[in-house]
Structure 1
Amino acid sequence: MSGSISPSEISRLQTALRRLLGSEKLTINPAPRAGMSIELAADGEVIGTIHRDDEDGDVSYAVNIVVLEEDLPAAK
C-alpha cells in the first residue's frame, strides 16, 4: 500500500468513518512523518491505523483496528 493522505482526505475520511461506525468520538491523527501510517483514535485513544492504497488509479483505505484482550469484558 502506498500514498500519503492529504488534510482534505483526512477530514473526508473521518466524516465517513464516524457515519459508518456510528461514533462522533472517532478522530484521525495525521502521520507524524512522511511514509508513516495515520492513526485512528476513539475518544483520544489510538485504536488502529489507516493506510491509503492508490494502485491502478483506484483509491481505497484500509483500516486496521487493534483490540487488546485486556480491554474485553470478563468472560461469563
Structure 2
Amino acid sequence: MDRSEITKLQDYLRRKFGNQSIKLQPNMRRKEMVEVMIGDEQVGTLYKDVDDGETSYTVTISILDIDLEEE
C-alpha cells in the first residue's frame, strides 16, 4: 500500500471509531499489510486484498486475555 492509501484508511478508521489516536504504520516486509496502532500500542493488522479487480481490506484486532483483566 502506498502512503496516500494508508492515509485514507487511517482517516476512515479514525472517523468510524471516533478515535484520533488510531495510526496505521506500514510493514516494511509485507507491502499488503499495515499495523493498526492506538497510541503506541499495536492492537491489530490491516490487510489489503485484490481479487478479480475488486479491492477489500480486512482488519484483525487481537485481544489478549490478560488485557481484559486490566479493566
TM-score (norm 1): 0.83
Q: How do 1:6-17 and structure 2 match up within 5 A?
A: 6-17=2-13
Give the secondary structure class of the aligned counterpart of 1:62: strand
In 2, the alpha carbon distance for the partners of 1:42 and 1:33 equals: 21
Matched pairs, number: 71
The amino acid that maps onto 1:7 is R
Structure whose CA Rg is larger: 1
Query: RMSD across aligned C-alpha pairs, in angstroms?
Result: 1.8
The amino acid that maps onto 1:42 is I
More strand by share: 2
Unaligned runs of at least 5 residues, structure 2: none
In 2, the alpha carbon distance for the partners of 1:19 and 1:36 equals: 22
| 1:35 Cα deviation after fit | 4.3
Q: How do 1:1-76 and structure 2 match up within 5 A?
A: 5-35=1-31, 37-73=33-69
Query: Where does structure 1 differ by over 6 angstroms across 4 or more consecutive aligned residues?
Result: none
| 1:32 Cα deviation after fit | 1.7
